[in-house]
Structure 1
Amino acid sequence: MRLWLRIFLTGLVLWLATVVVTAWTGNANLVPTVVLFGSFLVPVTFVVWAYGRGRSPEVTVELLFQAFVVGGVLGVLGASLLESWLLRPSVLMYVAVGLIEEGVKLAALMYVTRRMARRATRDGLVLGATVGFGFAAFESAGYAFNALFTADGLSLTQLVETEVLRGILAPVGHGLWTAIAGGALFAARGRLTSPVVLTYLGVSALHALWDSMSAIAIAITLVLTGRPWQFEQLRIGRVPHVTPWQVHMYTLLNWAGLIVISLVALLWLWATVTSDRRDRGNLPQ
Structure 2
Amino acid sequence: MAQPYPQPPPPVVRRRAWLRIFWVGLVLWLATVVVIFATGNPNLVPTLVLLGSFLVPVTFVAWAFERRETGELTPGLILSTFLAGGVLGVLAASLLESYLLRPSWWLFLGVGLIEEAVKLAVLAFLTRHLHHKAIRDGIILGASVGFGFAALETAGYAFTSLFTTHGLSVTQLVETELLRSVISPFGHGLWTAILGGVLFSSSTREHFTITGRLILAYLGVSLLHAFWDGMRVIALLLTLLFTGGEVSNGRIVHPTGGQVVLFTTLEWVGYAVVAVIGLLWLWALVRSSRRAQQQPPPLPSGWRVPIRPPGG
- TM bucket normalised to smaller: over 0.9
For residues 69 and 196 of structure 1, the distance between their equivalents in structure 2, rounded to whole angstroms, comes to: 24
**Match of 1:109?**
123
Instruction: State whether structure 2 residue 293 is matched by structure 1 residue 280.
Output: yes
1:250 equivalenced with 2:268 (yes/no): no
Give the counterpart of 1:152 among 155, 158, 166. Answer: 166
Aligned to 1:265: 278
Paired amino acid for 1:271: A
1:223 to 241, 249, 271: 241
What is the aligned partner in structure 1 of residue 227 from structure 2?
209
What per-residue deviation string (whole Å, max 9, x for no partner) do you get for residues 160-207 of structure 1?
Answer: 000000000011110000000000001111211111111010000000
- Answer yes or no: is 1:59 the counterpart of 2:73: yes
Which of 124, 129, 132 is 2:143 aligned to? 129
1:5 maps to which of 13, 19, 23: 19
Q: Which amino acid aligns with 1:211?
A: D
Specify every segment of 5 or more residues in structure 1 that has no aligned partner in the other structure, as ranges.
Answer: none
Amino acid at match of 1:245: G
| CA displacement at 1:54 relative to structure 2 | 2.7
Q: Does 1:17 align with 2:31?
A: yes
C-alpha displacement of 1:282: 1.5
Alignment of 1:152-191 (within 5 A): 152-189=166-203, 190-191=208-209
* 1:92-138 per-position Cα deviation (integer Å, ceiling 9, x unaligned): 00000000111100011011112112211111000000000000000
**Paired residue total:** 279
Q: Is the 8 A contact 1:221 1:250 kept in 2?
A: yes
- The code of the aligned residue for 2:47 comes to T
The correspondence for 2:51, drawn from 29, 32, 37, is: 37
> What is the identity, as a one-letter code, of the residue corresponding to 1:145?
F
The residue type equivalent to 1:186 in the other structure is F
- What's the CA shift string for 1:46-89, capped at 9, x where partnerless? 00000012321111111000000000100000110000001101
User: Cα distance, 1:238 vs. partner?
Assistant: 9.5
After TM superposition, what 4+ stretches of structure 1 lie above 3 angstroms from structure 2?
none
Question: Which structure is larger by alpha-carbon Rg, 1 or 2?
Answer: 2
- The alpha-carbon deviation at position 284 of structure 1 amounts to 3.0
Measured in 2, the distance between the counterparts of 1:152 and 1:60 equals: 47
Please give the per-residue CA displacement for 1:190-239, whole angstroms capped at 9, x wherever unaligned.
Answer: 2111111110100000000000111000101110111xxx35x77xx996
- Given the superposition, is the C-alpha separation of residues 274 and 239 from structure 1 closer, same or farther in structure 2, using an over 3 Å criterion? closer
Q: Distance in 2 between matches of 1:284 and 1:74?
A: 38
**Counterpart for residue 88 of structure 2:** 74
Q: Hey, which of these two has a bigger chunk of helix by percent?
A: 1
Given that residues 125 and 179 in structure 1 are in contact (C-alpha distance below 8 angstroms), is that contact kept between their aligned partners in structure 2? yes
TM-score between both structures, scaled by the size of structure 1: 0.95
Q: Secondary structure at the match of 2:105?
A: coil
AA aligned opposite 1:280: Q
SS in structure 1 of the partner of residue 230 of structure 2: helix
Equivalent position amino acid for 1:262 in 2? A
Whether the 8 Å contact between 1:55 and 1:126 is mirrored in structure 2 is no
Aligned equivalent of 1:139: 153
2:259 counterpart letter in structure 1:
Q
Using the alignment, how far apart are the partners of 2:98 and 2:296 within structure 1?
Answer: 47
Runs of 5+ consecutive residues of structure 2 not aligned to the other structure? 1-14, 299-312
- Give the Cα separation in 1 of the matches to 2:223 and 2:273: 13
1:2 Cα offset (Å): 2.0
